[in-house]
Structure 1
């Protein structure tokens, strides 16, 4: 019996040791797993090396592939919301993995040919579906090789795409899905050994933004159009192809603009496109596989004119006559407004393409004269012709072939710059770049010194390729390699507008300030103070008869939002002239000032602002200064009126009450004092009146400004603002087309008010003093 007990103890010990040596045997035993507190090796391995969702067919032999077939769904954690990928990108020839005995394997040495992305850092956040990246193979100063770069997505629904590498430089467009995206970049070249060992990883987080207005795409047809682009029978473009090409052009606009905003230190901001769930076209394999995707929606709109009428309008505009210069634009505006059934106050941003443009006679006219972009009104609209759409890529795989197609175009373009866009890739630049130029106008940009808002869009191809082909426009063999410094761009002033545009807002941005009109205050010693509640973003400086801004002052420091821009600045003429080139320093200076909400104030002559007409002598001998703001001017019959408040020059006068006289609009303001006297600005017509305590004398409260509500031609309501932060509410009518705030700059107080008066108060501004 003693022998049997000893044998039993030894058998039990040997079984325990065997269990410790073979932990994977417990993985399939639920009862043993429940009774053990020691984690199994498969769970340890999964925490060290996350499993890849790339299929084995799309992966290289170096990727770790799980061979454990015993893992059941009971061991998997429940699904969770996507979280940012925290693993760092790895530029190595093999992924880190764990051996069977639980010890980490030694990673293979980093390949000198592993792709390196330099335009965006690993684990960055973006807000666009198609992302442009630029990178290098090794150090281009030491290694110069050509080859191909394959982009493999961790989501199996999107196929890998190959991009060319030229002189160790590459550019690629990445298709992203919402949430974390981990992409593998493989470099291959016949001149480099071991072509399967040169890989790297990059993680990108894509967060779509649904809280900002989208850019909507539309194709406009004549009411009798057959939906085909005018072309040779052997090169016909039907409506479905035109839709996919237009959609791809919009994604290229996004990729280009997002990268330009980043280069200007504004983050990965970009306008968003309206999307819908539909058959995918962004990949050439989508139609073959019947793949459904959430992609940009293209509305098809028929206008009320026939194809011949549209061509007649475009042909008539070839002479740029003033009578019909905008007829085609108004036709598009009417069609878009009717299609979307827009109500007053509903803002829309629409980029439209006329599909029935006649190639050969009105091609350049329909785009340069009759297809402008407009940022005015409720509908912001940009239109363009379809004469170049046959050269557009319809999917990502066609981007590089389209931008390198040097075949002679059967319909060359001759825009206003007087140069010929003769090859297919140059026509493509003209089409996509010219339409983006009009989108810039729609977003508020004006013609600039360089960039997309000039004919520089002829270099748009360099943004997406690394090797340029022969150019018929310049009669040159093309640039090699095309580096970021060689590309066209958005001008800095354009990106400043985009930074504060509603279509480019981010959730982290400070909400826009209402009633934030910019005000200019000419003060002593020739200085001009500029104030604005939402901050001053930038100032455009024009010299003489300049129509294009060549000098500007930028107050935006990175992407810190409206809180990072000043609410008050001081200007002097000498400082402004320092920014003007020498031949024009003696000419007059015009300013256009932009706020953090893109409201503007134009100063036609900085010297006039400093003149005596803006200086008022107060009864106590002090100097007062009339302010400038941006409400609409008064009517021709309005009379100028001015009121100096007694409390500004006499300390014993205490302002207690303000009475507002109004009907539909404000007719008069009455300022009442503690000694029962009063002063009236405007015409006290005896209609409805509202009375408000302007100050609390016991608490030291003082009047510091007004919030003005303006109607079509007059002031409709006024709100009084006090030094203790109290707001009286709008007295009169709170409904107005616009609002602006009148508050003196720091160090100054209200000395009086001035403006224009007819039957009602039409304009109103402050007089300030120290």
Structure 2
């Protein structure tokens, strides 16, 4: 049999690359071959000598997009890089040192995530123009406004992705509503068909005069809260538009904002964000729009334009936009602040949700008028605070594929439960993600639950105070946030613990505890009522529950086998009867509430649930005794119908 010999192969590991020399191009915030989920990627890097002073251009060449130029200052550069779905090869060219770098990134759009829609609102009789200084005469058309808002949308998107990445959350960001349209994000090939951000233009049913009514101007001394706000006007317009008759997230630009020189007031402007029903909306005026970039190539010129704002023609918002680049910061950054509110973000001690948007430019350009370089660590207020990061991490618009299937949303709100000895629990059926702690009305610290989101967490008042490093007489308030974005507050922890513990009830030996109050937080003008499940410390057998309800809950009556009754609330509306079997008792309540109690469902010890009684408005809450405790009664308050409800419980 012939023999075979194999050639000797001298396999060697590839050589380890030498450390880059001082003139190599380096990318500092993106890995080679990384997969991202936004059309424009914010890239930070360094090029040229690290120990020299210079200001030279670096060029970016990428797929299906014109070459762009960005300043490289003392080796630091920042660039907005265009990507197409799939693999991308990006070339960075630094002519100063005759250096180039080929870099690879994959772009995977997440079409399953709910998008942010960009909308421009214009009055029914509007000429569809906005304020500009004389130098920009003719650059205030509706088409220009569309270009500016589209560019802003991609900058907001890139900012969010970078901020969540820096905080270890992956490149999470919102998706923009896009369509196959003539593109405007590059001035070099304007009109080329691409999948680009769609900007809706809604002609309002309200006139320009109504929009500019001084009573609606947010910064006016004559603002009248009895007059429907601009936010309310545009919610009306959205609801009547077929494109927004489903759950939606909207960034709305009010084109008819106007700097009234005589009044020294911007009319038709409101900086507001939030939501109502299925619509989430952030709005801002167009009074600073003249300073925004119209395209990617315009970002650097816009942020380097130090022209003085002339208040004979345009506004100096908050006296902080006295130069055009500062006006650009406030206009774009403060509008993103309002969009942040629509994504459930609240005000924070630092960052964009404070007034950090005054440094908005620092995210995108490595210099500003009179100052540079600006490395990433010197972007100052242009960041999301960690509280913002934790809220966005669990927002459905910011999901990543590795998060797994989203599943059915649990709509339950969190609640606080008082225990003995200064302890309390946070109950979160949807999972607790964040507990924010404020002292004296100001943020002090927080607990975050990143890996696992518990449904119940027990805290001790002393542990909270130790964490805050505060005195016993300082007011502590708590804000619990769930993974489903539902939240709940305690205004004063001391008052909560003292008012919810040590209650005496007739027929029950010893002290009992009182749950949080669900519904209207004010007791003014209320008729209070209590139902106790015990007599002489022995349980009473419930026979049936008579529930009065219609579109909301009026009240209910507990009827016992001994013929006694307890009435909670009122007896208006229709009446339903729910029979209770021998040995069964009420073990908890499921309620929907807001300014009043919309509806209720009774949980029995046998595991049975009553039908739902009342309406489906408000937030959903489960009211249960903590583990190791038993429910011993119900309390409620009413005016014309039920406005408050809660339970009493004691250790079992």
Give me the TM-score of the superposition, normalised by structure 2: 0.83
SS of the equivalent of 2:153 reads helix
Separation in structure 2 between the aligned mates of residue 617 and residue 307 of structure 1, nearest angstrom: 60
Aligned to 2:204: 303
Separation in structure 2 between the aligned mates of residue 569 and residue 734 of structure 1, nearest angstrom: 31
Query: What is the deviation of 1:450?
Result: 1.9
Is 1:182 the counterpart of 2:88 in the alignment? yes
Higher deviation after alignment, 319-328 or 436-445:
319-328
SS of the equivalent of 2:317 reads coil
Separation in structure 2 between the aligned mates of residue 407 and residue 322 of structure 1, nearest angstrom: 32
- Corresponding residue to 1:744 among 602, 625, 648: 625
Higher deviation after alignment, 510-519 or 489-498:
510-519
CA 1:629/1:594 → structure 2, altered by over 3 Å: closer, same or farther? Answer: farther
Aligned to 1:616: 503
Query: What is the deviation of 1:626?
Result: 0.6
Is 1:149 the counterpart of 2:49 in the alignment? no
Separation in structure 1 between the aligned mates of residue 267 and residue 409 of structure 2, nearest angstrom: 37
Assess if the C-alpha contact under 8 Å between 1:363 and 1:385 holds in 2.
no
Is 1:437 the counterpart of 2:337 in the alignment? yes
Is 1:706 the counterpart of 2:584 in the alignment? no
Query: What is the deviation of 1:632?
Result: 3.4
Matches within 5 A, 1:486-565: 486-487=379-380, 488-506=382-400, 508=403, 510-511=406-407, 513-544=409-440, 546=441, 549-557=442-450, 560=451, 564-565=452-453
Separation in structure 1 between the aligned mates of residue 28 and residue 525 of structure 2, nearest angstrom: 63
- Corresponding residue to 2:127 among 197, 205, 225: 225
Separation in structure 2 between the aligned mates of residue 143 and residue 170 of structure 1, nearest angstrom: 14
Deviations along 1:19-62, whole A, 9 cap, x unmatched? Answer: xxxxxxxxxxxxxxxxxxxxxxxxxxxxxxxxxxxxxxxxxxxx
Q: Any gaps of 5 or more consecutive residues in structure 1?
A: 1-102, 470-476, 697-701
Query: What is the deviation of 1:628?
Result: 0.4
Query: What is the deviation of 1:342?
Result: 5.8
Query: What is the deviation of 1:588?
Result: 2.6
Query: What is the deviation of 1:750?
Result: 2.1
Matches within 5 A, 1:301-380: 301-307=202-208, 310-311=211-212, 313=214, 319-323=220-224, 327-340=229-242, 346-359=246-259, 361=261, 365-366=265-266, 370-380=270-280
Assess if the C-alpha contact under 8 Å between 2:519 and 2:643 holds in 1.
no
CA 1:247/1:648 → structure 2, altered by over 3 Å: closer, same or farther? Answer: farther
Deviations along 1:644-678, whole A, 9 cap, x unmatched? Answer: 3349955xx696876453453464354768xx888
Give me the TM-score of the superposition, normalised by structure 1: 0.71
CA 1:587/1:434 → structure 2, altered by over 3 Å: closer, same or farther? Answer: same
Assess if the C-alpha contact under 8 Å between 2:427 and 2:455 holds in 1.
yes
Is 1:277 the counterpart of 2:183 in the alignment? no
Aligned to 1:589: 476
Separation in structure 2 between the aligned mates of residue 482 and residue 316 of structure 1, nearest angstrom: 38
Deviations along 1:236-284, whole A, 9 cap, x unmatched? Answer: 2122122111110111111112212222333222222222211011122
SS of the equivalent of 1:457 reads helix
Aligned to 1:690: 578
Query: What is the deviation of 1:478?
Result: 1.3
Query: What is the deviation of 1:505?
Result: 4.1
Is 1:604 the counterpart of 2:491 in the alignment? yes
Assess if the C-alpha contact under 8 Å between 1:353 and 1:385 holds in 2.
yes
Query: What is the deviation of 1:299?
Result: 1.6
Deviations along 1:399-450, whole A, 9 cap, x unmatched? Answer: 122212234444575333x44x333222211211122222233333333322
Relative to its length, the structure with more helix (as a share) is 1
Is 1:718 the counterpart of 2:588 in the alignment? no
Is 1:248 the counterpart of 2:151 in the alignment? yes
CA 1:169/1:534 → structure 2, altered by over 3 Å: closer, same or farther? Answer: same
Aligned to 1:67: none
Deviations along 1:122-175, whole A, 9 cap, x unmatched? Answer: 3434332222121234894x687764433333x4x3233232322222211122
Query: What is the deviation of 1:537?
Result: 2.7
Deviations along 1:295-333, whole A, 9 cap, x unmatched? Answer: 111122223455466455389765422426864444444
- Corresponding residue to 2:459 among 571, 578, 582: 571
Deviations along 1:665-723, whole A, 9 cap, x unmatched? Answer: 464354768xx888645389794312255978xxxxx8643322458744533142658
Assess if the C-alpha contact under 8 Å between 1:315 and 1:362 holds in 2.
no
Assess if the C-alpha contact under 8 Å between 2:133 and 2:310 holds in 1.
no
Query: What is the deviation of 1:569?
Result: 2.5
**What root-mean-square deviation, in Å, do the aligned CA atoms of Structure 1 and Structure 2 show?**
3.9
Aligned to 1:422: 322
Assess if the C-alpha contact under 8 Å between 1:668 and 1:760 holds in 2.
no
Assess if the C-alpha contact under 8 Å between 1:519 and 1:630 holds in 2.
no
Assess if the C-alpha contact under 8 Å between 1:748 and 1:768 holds in 2.
yes
Separation in structure 2 between the aligned mates of residue 536 and residue 105 of structure 1, nearest angstrom: 48
Q: Any gaps of 5 or more consecutive residues in structure 2?
A: 1-11
SS of the equivalent of 2:611 reads strand
SS of the equivalent of 1:250 reads helix
Larger Rg belongs to: 1
Separation in structure 1 between the aligned mates of residue 145 and residue 342 of structure 2, nearest angstrom: 22
Assess if the C-alpha contact under 8 Å between 1:114 and 1:200 holds in 2.
no
Aligned to 1:458: 358
Aligned to 1:18: none
Separation in structure 1 between the aligned mates of residue 165 and residue 536 of structure 2, nearest angstrom: 50
Separation in structure 1 between the aligned mates of residue 634 and residue 385 of structure 2, nearest angstrom: 40
Matches within 5 A, 1:196-215: 198-215=100-117
Separation in structure 1 between the aligned mates of residue 55 and residue 424 of structure 2, nearest angstrom: 58
CA 1:712/1:413 → structure 2, altered by over 3 Å: closer, same or farther? Answer: closer
Relative to its length, the structure with more strand (as a share) is 2
Query: What is the deviation of 1:461?
Result: 0.8
Separation in structure 2 between the aligned mates of residue 401 and residue 649 of structure 1, nearest angstrom: 78
Separation in structure 2 between the aligned mates of residue 364 and residue 260 of structure 1, nearest angstrom: 37
SS of the equivalent of 1:427 reads helix
SS of the equivalent of 1:458 reads helix
Separation in structure 2 between the aligned mates of residue 175 and residue 405 of structure 1, nearest angstrom: 24
Assess if the C-alpha contact under 8 Å between 2:500 and 2:516 holds in 1.
no
